[in-house]
Amino acid sequence: MLGHRSITRIFTMPHNPSLHLLCHPWELQTVIRMRRTWNRPARVQMPPVLAPTEPWEGTSVVWSSMHYDAASKQFLLWYEAWNPGADRPPPLDSLVCFATSVDGLQWNKPELGLFEWNGSSANNICWMMHNTGPWRYLDSPCVLVEPSAPADRRYRMVIYTQSKPEAGQAFFVLTSPNGINWTWHDEPFLTETGDRFHCIFDDRRGEYWLTSRRAHTYRDKRANPPRPRIRSVERWRSTDLRTWSGPDIHLLPDDADPPDTEFYSLYPMTAGNAYLGYLEFYDRFVERLHTELVISRDGNTWLRPERNPWLDRGTEGAWDDMWVFPTSNDPLVVGDHMLVPYVGRGTAHAGVREPMRPPRCSLGLLTFGRDRWAALTVGQDGGEFVTEPAPVTGDQLVLNVDAEFGDVRVAVLDEFGGPINGFSHAHATPIVSDAVDVPARWQTHGSVASLYGRTVRLYVKAARASVYAYSYA
């Protein structure tokens, strides 16, 4: 269990040119008798790790962001308590609450004393739409933690809002020195898109991305009579969270998808030397939502390599049997594992004919091996693959591999596929372990230090093994 695991180091997933993930097909020149197998995360525990327990939370804790604060050695969580209803008019229907945890399983909801609920400020509400003019409703709060920013803006919260009764929409950025006390800035942007969204900082390009619904589709909804529309995803880019360009990518269902498929949202992230994303796949016909993995080499063109759930719904009757999607943050790397908090719902989308009220949403936690998104896998008959040319960027070649009941041997070839003396399969020390960072060695070479800076290919032979990634350290 996570609670008994020693938490010695936790980080997210920065751009890493030296990490080559084999879930990315462009890393490979040739694959013989091996198959790409996609990993699935495991639920750390079957019940939710955070559920609504307080009156102001109602029955739903939903859109969230989680980070790990190394100074306090705590997980920090910002989550929306979303409970629309006649008894909770805006802004009481959409509150941002704050919680902390030392292990990700047991959560503390501190009394912050910032906002009143039913005459008392003894609650963990850290933001509500109060003294914000006509903007009374918020959705999908997304918190970015930026240690290098000025002290009063180390935390930034991007929110989508709607104005009442004008039915306008916009995004805003709030700032905070500590993640608890937030300052409202009346500077709306992107007024033609929303509502569900994610906002990230792409450290590969040094810019912010905001992914949301296709622009102007709200006009189709409000037309008389309404025009057909589906949910799809577009991206906007900014260097300062104020001035935005785009949209410049567009993900929408295609002919291979079932009728009534919609893309509810996309969370993109850097992964190794490229990108991965969580695509929220919404089957409008049965009102169910699961999450797929998508990949991109450049962040602009996205591929759906598997088209199956990466995060699937819980079993019938479970608290997460209708909708499941990760929170708005990269996986948290804890030693040799990754943690992915996710939101589960036991109710479907609000409907016009039969609204499912009140909504029931809680927070769960997933885990899987570090960088083990997908592997090239082979059985006892053996297989092999050759990578595309890539520079040697470190002294040590490290493999992420499961060969506990088999073996993996690595040869290093030159840029054009020719052998390099001393780095053949005959000289290679077999890898016979299951670990995320196994060093490759040869009889006369304990490392690849002599090859530093050269462009090489890897020629891997394996039997009864899975190879997930390679990197240089």
The pLDDT averaged over each successive group of 10 residues in the chain (473 residues) is 45 86 98 97 97 94 95 96 79 93 96 95 96 92 92 96 84 97 96 93 95 83 78 96 92 94 96 97 94 97 96 96 97 94 90 70 97 98 98 98 98 97 98 98 96 98 98 96
- The pLDDT of residue 3 is 45
3-state secondary structure the chain: CHHHCCCCCEECCCCCCCEEECCCHHHEEEEECCEEEECCCEECCCCCCECCCCHHHCCEEEEEEEEEECCCCEEEEEEEEECCECCECCCCCEEEEEEEECCCCCCECCCCCCCCECCECCCCEEECCCCCCCEEEEEEEEEEECCCCCHHHCEEEEEEEEECCCCCEEEEEEEECCCCCCECCCCCECCCCCCCCEEEEECCCCEEEEEEECCCHHHHHHCCCCCCCCCCEEEEEECCCCCCECCCCEECCCCCCCCCEEEEEEEEEEECCEEEEEEEEEECCCCEEEEEEEEECCCCCEECCCCCCCECCCCCCCCCCCEEEECCCCCEEECCEEEEEEEEECCCCCCCCCCCCCCCEEEEEEEEECCCCEEEEECCCCEEEEECCEECCCCCEEEEEECCCCEEEEEEEECCCCECCCCCCCCECCECCEEEEEECCECCECCCHHHCCCEEEEEEEEECEEEEEEEEC
- The pLDDT of residue 349 is 80
- The pLDDT of residue 143 is 97
